[in-house]
Structure 1
Amino acid sequence: MSSTGVWVVGVVPDAEALALPERLFHLVRPGDRTKPPGFAEALAWWSNGGDREPFFEPPVDPSKPVSLTPAARRLADLVEDANPPTEAVEAMRDAGTALMPDAEGPGLYLATARKANPVAALHYGLGAQRSAMLPGWFGDFLLSASEVRNALPRAEEALLFSPSERSAALTRITAWMTGMGDDTDFGAAALVDAPLRVLRHAAATGSGAAAFSRWY
C-alpha cells in the first residue's frame, strides 16, 4: 500500500501559540520523551559527517532506479524517530494545523510526496550544519511571535544560498525524492523557499508559526 509524506508550515495566532502547549500538557505521558534504541548514535552520526556519506548508488542497468545505501535508510529512520506520534504530539499536530490558514499563500506551505518524507528531503538537501539552524526539531515546531523573530535570522542563514550552493541543495532534494520516493515532479525549490516565506510573513504580521509532518 502506498503512503504519502506531508509537511505543513503555517502561521498561527500568537495567543494560540502561547496557550497550546499548556492546554495539551495533560496528554504528555512519562515515556513520551524516550527515543528509540540507537537514536542518539544516529543523531551523532548525522551531526558529525554522516551527511557527507553516499546516500544513493546508480544502478548497473540505467533503466532501473537508484539503490539506497545504509546512510539513506539511517537518515530516513532518524527523521521518523525524532518526533514519534504520541498522543500529545498528534493532538498538537491536529490543533496547530487547525489554526493555520485554509489555503496556501504567504502564510501557509504544504509539501506532499508519495513514499518520501519532505522533512528528510530538506535535511538531506541542506546537510547537517544548515538543517540544525532550522527552528524546532526535525520538521516540527510551534513558535510564538517573539520566538519567530528570534528564530528568523538562523533560518535565513540556513535557507539562503549562493547560486552554486542552491543548485547543489536542490539536486540533493530531487535525488531524495526520486530515490527514496518516486516523485519526479516534486518542487525542490519550494521546499527551500516556502518555509522561510512563511516565517517572514509571521514576523511581519506579529504571528506565531508552526510546522508538522505526518504520513497518510
Structure 2
Amino acid sequence: MGITSVWSISSHRDHVIAHLAPRLAPALEADRTDPAARRRWAAWRRAPLPDHRTWYADTSHGGAIDAFWSLTRPGEHVDDVCNGITDPGFHVMENIWEPEPDRADMFVSVHSKDYAVAALFHAIGPDRAALLPGWCGNVLLSATEVRRTLPDVERALTFTPGERARVAERDWLDYGARDERVIDGPLRVWRTAAASGRGLCAVALHVY
C-alpha cells in the first residue's frame, strides 16, 4: 500500500502552542531520545551520504541509506499523536491546521511515497540540519523561542548563489508550479512568525 506524507510548519499564538504542548511535546521528546534514532543521527553526522543519484549504483551505501530513511521518516510518537492514534480526540487537521487558516502563516509539503524532511536534510547536509531546532522536522516553540532560534535557522537555510545551486540539485522532490521548495518554506515561516510575535508548530506525519 502506498503512503502519503505531510510536513507542515504553522504559525500560532502562544496560547495555541500552550494548548498543543501536553500532547505534542512528550511525543517529540520520545522520538528525539529514542536510542536507535540517536544512533542513526550520529552515524549520518559522521558520514554524510553522497549525492542521491549514486545511492543505488553503489551497493556499499545500502545500510547507511536505510538508516537515513528511518531517521528522517515521521517519528512514530508524533505520527501517532497527529493521526489520533494515541489520543482519538486529537487530530492534526482539527487541532493544528484549522485554528490558523491563513496560508501565509504555513508551509505545507505533501508527497506520495516520499518525505520532505529527508529531502531537505540530504540537500543541506548534517551540519546545517543540526542547527534546526526540534527533531527531524518536528518542533513546538513559543514566540520567544522562535525569535531566539531564528539566527540558527537563518544560518541553516541561507545560501550563496553557488551553495543554493548545489543544495537545489540535492533536493530530489518533484514540485508543482505553486509548490514551495523545502529549502525555502521553513525559513519564510520562521521569519514571519518572529516578526509577528507568534510561535511555531512543525509536524511530519503519514496520511494513509
Task: Give the aligned residue type for 2:7.
Answer: W
Count of residues in correspondence between the two structures = 198
Report runs of 4+ in structure 1 exceeding 6 Å deviation. 186-189
Q: Does residue 61 of structure 2 align to residue 76 of structure 1?
A: no
State whether residues 55 and 69 of structure 1, in contact with CA within 8 Å, keep that contact through their aligned partners in structure 2: no
User: How many Å apart are 1:160 and its aligned residue?
Assistant: 0.2
Could you say what secondary structure the match of 1:134 adopts? coil
1:171 corresponds to: 169
Percent identical pairs in the alignment equals 28
* 1:142-172, Cα deviation, whole Å (9 max, x unpaired): 1110000001000000000111111111111
Cα distance between partner residues in 2 of 1:45 and 1:127: 13
Could you say what secondary structure the match of 2:73 adopts? helix
**Is the alpha carbon distance of 1:139 and 1:33 closer, same or farther for their aligned partners in structure 2, counting shifts above 3 Å?**
closer
**Is the alpha carbon distance of 1:150 and 1:184 closer, same or farther for their aligned partners in structure 2, counting shifts above 3 Å?**
closer
1:14 corresponds to: 14
User: How many Å apart are 1:83 and its aligned residue?
Assistant: 5.0
**Is the alpha carbon distance of 1:158 and 1:33 closer, same or farther for their aligned partners in structure 2, counting shifts above 3 Å?**
closer
**Is the alpha carbon distance of 1:141 and 1:33 closer, same or farther for their aligned partners in structure 2, counting shifts above 3 Å?**
closer
Structure 2, unaligned stretches of length 5 or more?
Answer: none
* 1:53-78, Cα deviation, whole Å (9 max, x unpaired): 45443778xxxxx9884333221101
Q: Does residue 78 of structure 2 align to residue 108 of structure 1?
A: no
User: How many Å apart are 1:41 and its aligned residue?
Assistant: 2.2
Cα distance between partner residues in 1 of 2:202 and 2:187: 12
Could you say what secondary structure the match of 2:77 adopts? coil
1:135 aligned to 119, 133, 136, which one?
Answer: 133
**Is the alpha carbon distance of 1:171 and 1:88 closer, same or farther for their aligned partners in structure 2, counting shifts above 3 Å?**
same
* 1:65-118, Cα deviation, whole Å (9 max, x unpaired): x9884333221101237453465565677233343335x32x111101111110
Structure 1, unaligned stretches of length 5 or more?
Answer: 61-65, 178-182
Could you say what secondary structure the match of 1:38 adopts? helix
